[in-house]
Structure 1
């Protein structure tokens, strides 16, 4: 223990010893001089309880000191009360043994000083001390009856009530007053404490006074209010005040309100029961209120901790989003150059077959890298709850057929057979998100192709009609490596599927985790049945209601000749060259700007049919440039502006729309997607 704490604890122990010594002196005087019955037994004996409280709370050296103080004061008070020397020594020995027995029982039961902080402790303590008081009374009554001729039963009853009441009331009261937690629980001003305790004393005196007609039960509401305001310490002090006032008055025979008509003994018994009931009623109420206050403070603390944890989680999510946005932008920018120039090279007619094959390999590798990046962004959207389903009338059977057709070349290139089995008695359409459903199927088919070296892959769809909704079960079965039962639990966790399959990841390792999240978002469940070297069956089930098919869209009009003037804005020279070349190949007249300020200057002079705007540029970014162009007078400020940026997160796309852009093309730019959006938005030239 640090020196400062040890010094503080030493002072506290010394103060506790002094307080208990003073309390013992006052207790002996009060019991022997003010509450003695005709048999010479005190009606209320707090001293044994005070000694027991000191024994469990003090250090060993101070315990011996307190025992010495107890013995000296006890013998002195007995002699002053005109007891003989033998009786004084007997009473002192029995009371000392009783206190030691209580101390021993507390140590065995609690291992330390018992703390009266709950109803359970309040009940257990008198259950432990009462048998000890009964045994002590039996020893004393037997001795007095045998050697001094005292009546055994009456002596035993008086000694038992004297000891049991003192231990049952004063011991928990002393432990409450010693306990620092009770002292800190109710920080009431001293003035209010004094007023409340004075009110208890005044009402008690009024009810106990022989000339008063006030009934004793009026003491209860005042004492309970003190317990409510001051807690367990208030209940303790209020009960002690009532005992200190009522017992001396009753012993004088002056209080007719406590069964005085039946004699002094009945009056003493009534007051003893009254004090015990009052104490335990007030203590129970105060402990219940304290527990309620403790729970309230605990809930407040947990609420603060929850808010702090939520703030940290939001900060972590924001940091992760910013990191993903930065990494996505930094990867997409050079990838745009790789795929862009690969597409431009592939359009040339002067390439040799070998060179064209190498260009196609570059394009395929870039597309694979783009798929990994899209998986990471998809998983981020899933984790942040940003996935929104777009339900539309969909033929599940047609969707499976089309998806299998997409994967068929890859399956057959690996020398595998591909089967399709559809059981669809409804032959109808269901409310499904076709894009998300296709994404799950392609992920599962991709895994089947990757981990199957020979044999076949089967795609199955079974639709079971229902009353409110139909049950759709999709299965992708392969004859591949299979998965052990102990590893199947890892399959749908991030970056764990390939590890579970014993292979090095060929992608981000997020495919199955994304599948699980998408199926869960659609209200379904996903799983796997597999055995090593015997293949796997990945399945998922959905419930979907039947709907009428959507009306067929009108045939798309023939594409008009690409004419018009386009402004391409990008601070990256390579990206600028790629975009300008692609637009020139489509037949547009192209102007270029390397910054937002250049774009504004050109837009101020030329009414462009379309503007392709990068987002990140020095001095003035694409958002600011867009807002400035929108502020120009017609026709200069009305040109459609499409974002062409590596910023691909939903929140970033929303910022483009908020700034006045009409659409968004993510980098790396795919030529067909670029042409489709340009054709949609370009302003028709006049004349």
Structure 2
């Protein structure tokens, strides 16, 4: 690769050397043969600017070669036009020194090859070159006056004007032409470029020919058109064409193109000013358009990079989601057996005390592992921005009571009093994400039970009506050890615990409260804690929610007592079926089983079930397809509440369950209290099937 780049650079340098050498030799002949005034000084001298460009862009060996070519052909052409040896040496020396001075000064200011891409850079280049041109004119005019008796002021003025015109027009024009950035802009067809440039040349001939139309300002519109169509390179080419055509006609012609009764010297100055103004105007337009083109390309490039980065981010997010879904399912499935059989063993009355203690330890350790797994998965989803709120009409009071009911057995096992208080003067439904709010409340209640050894836990809901939204404040107060003020700021940080020492009493990943804060903030609410060491803690949540209209009830079923319920349990895993049946039988339910979705549809069609507990991943027909098939059955079979009971616990997976026609979701591993609470809720409450 490096060798290829080196070869490319060598070819580029050789091309530049050859092009500049030919241009310099041609400019010597053009200026000396076609534009010399009666004083023997050219009207337009681009050679110095071309040599300065060569010094800027060529490497040292090629610079030496270009300087050598310039010296040899400068002297040769000076002799051909009749200059004495002294004049030829003077002209050649001054011109070479001028080119070197411009190169060194530009190198000092730019630190390398100058770039002409803005009007500021164009003005800076002219400001650097013009004083050097004046200094060289002063030196040359002094020698001509002292050595050859030529008029000092006339020589000074003519030398300065011819050099300044070359530096002001040719130097920036050539830098624009060789700049790769300008070559990438304004790609036009070859026919259009040739047509525009040829039109400018013909119009210039028509305007400046002694027998022409004599209105050179007609060139301006065409020059501006070329600038708009071809950019800065077009403006540079137009200016060089006009200068190379107009100057010889003005010097050699017998009629003023401007139709003025001026002398030859005045007409020469006028054409020099005209070419300079034309160049400045057209190049300014070309540079402005080129800058817009660069910005457009930059924006397009950034848009492409942003699109590519967004695509990579979306792919990474999808891969992460898929990974989370797979890991969640694979971890929860074996945990379901561990916790399920541990709960079944704990419910037996024939266990010896030491075996019961060991089973309880298994259940406790499994529950702790499940909490860590849930926290890690939830936190990953929050960090990835994959959590979206699903607002629906919700009774905040019922939500709090149901959540407390889930935690009540644990609280009773520790001898704690769990109290629920609701202060709700309007008793209305609110637009809330029931699942996410329950998750936060469960986390706070779980912590309260976990960190309270004796006393009570008070849960409270306070609803304050507002004009547009009501303020809902949930409070979970305990009589635990309390939290020191300096440790309270750590509570809602990820992987942070009040006691992070190696000898701490309680375990955990330190993610629960961080997840809770993220979810509450996603709801537009606030979460905090008030605590006094030794007197307990009060965690609170405040959310604003509008009053919601209740959903239409299409059919109501008579409440069924759990002990008399007929339930269809659908699961392809034998251990999961055994655990589910055992837990439901303990609650007094009558249970039938199905091993796949097709069996579930067949059983639902002929049986009269009060509820169906449906797994998702099954052979022949999965749980989602089975649910849709059951919903398509004739009533009343189609109205049976179907609850997902699956290790698919990610929000988008749960949402698919609701979309298929299920009314609720129980995540595996099955927790007995959660299972009983869900079953009781959908058996004893009026059921809505949309």
User: How high is the TM-score relative to the length of structure 2?
Assistant: 0.82
| Counterpart contact for 1:52–1:103, Cα < 8 Å | yes
Q: Hey, what's the Cα distance between the residues in 2 that align with 1:517 and 1:45? A: 73
Matched, 1:328 2:328: yes
Between 1:349-358 and 1:72-81, the stretch displaced more is 349-358
| Residue matched to 1:311 | 311
Alignment of 1:377-392 (within 5 A): 377-382=377-382, 383-388=385-390
Change (3 A) 1:348 1:523: same
Between 1:314-323 and 1:61-70, the stretch displaced more is 314-323
Alignment of 1:250-399 (within 5 A): 250-258=250-258, 260-382=260-382, 383-388=385-390
**SS of residue paired to 2:224:** helix
Q: Hey, what's the Cα distance between the residues in 2 that align with 1:623 and 1:466? A: 41
| Residue matched to 2:180 | 180
Change (3 A) 1:464 1:575: closer
Q: Hey, what's the Cα distance between the residues in 2 that align with 1:335 and 1:5? A: 61
| Residue matched to 1:571 | 572
| Residue matched to 1:676 | 680
Return the offset for 1:28. 0.9
Q: How many residues align?
A: 669
Return the offset for 1:207. 2.2
Q: Hey, what's the Cα distance between the residues in 2 that align with 1:577 and 1:354? A: 25
Between 1:123-132 and 1:667-676, the stretch displaced more is 667-676
Return the offset for 1:537. 9.7
Return the offset for 1:626. 3.7
What are structure 2's unaligned runs of at least 5 residues?
Answer: 551-556
Between 1:516-525 and 1:313-322, the stretch displaced more is 516-525
**SS of residue paired to 2:261:** helix
Q: Output one character per residue of 1:463-506: Cα deviation in whole Å (capped at 9) or x when no partner.
A: 99999999999899976577589xx6x86553355797788893
Q: Hey, what's the Cα distance between the residues in 2 that align with 1:566 and 1:301? A: 61
**SS of residue paired to 1:185:** coil
Q: Hey, what's the Cα distance between the residues in 1 that align with 2:565 and 2:407? A: 36
Return the offset for 1:103. 1.3
Alignment of 1:126-525 (within 5 A): 126-213=126-213, 215-258=215-258, 260-382=260-382, 383-388=385-390, 480=483, 492-497=492-497, 506-524=507-525
Matched, 1:57 2:61: no
Change (3 A) 1:475 1:120: farther
Between 1:213-222 and 1:49-58, the stretch displaced more is 213-222
| Residue matched to 2:115 | 115
Return the offset for 1:399. 7.9
Q: Hey, what's the Cα distance between the residues in 2 that align with 1:445 and 1:663? A: 22
Between 1:353-362 and 1:170-179, the stretch displaced more is 353-362
Q: Hey, what's the Cα distance between the residues in 2 that align with 1:466 and 1:625? A: 44
| Residue matched to 1:553 | none
What are structure 1's unaligned runs of at least 5 residues?
Answer: 419-423, 551-555
| Counterpart contact for 2:569–2:592, Cα < 8 Å | yes
| Counterpart contact for 2:570–2:615, Cα < 8 Å | yes
Q: Hey, what's the Cα distance between the residues in 1 that align with 2:560 and 2:649? A: 28
| Residue matched to 2:651 | 650
Matched, 1:40 2:44: no
Q: Hey, what's the Cα distance between the residues in 1 that align with 2:3 and 2:221? A: 47
| Residue matched to 1:622 | 623
Change (3 A) 1:193 1:534: farther
Q: Output one character per residue of 1:375-427: Cα deviation in whole Å (capped at 9) or x when no partner.
A: 334435533241346687869xx989x98x98999899799xx9xxxxx9x99
Q: Hey, what's the Cα distance between the residues in 1 that align with 2:546 and 2:628? A: 46
Return the offset for 1:118. 2.7
Between 1:666-675 and 1:355-364, the stretch displaced more is 355-364
Change (3 A) 1:11 1:139: same
Return the offset for 1:577. 1.2
| Counterpart contact for 2:346–2:359, Cα < 8 Å | yes
| Counterpart contact for 1:492–1:512, Cα < 8 Å | yes
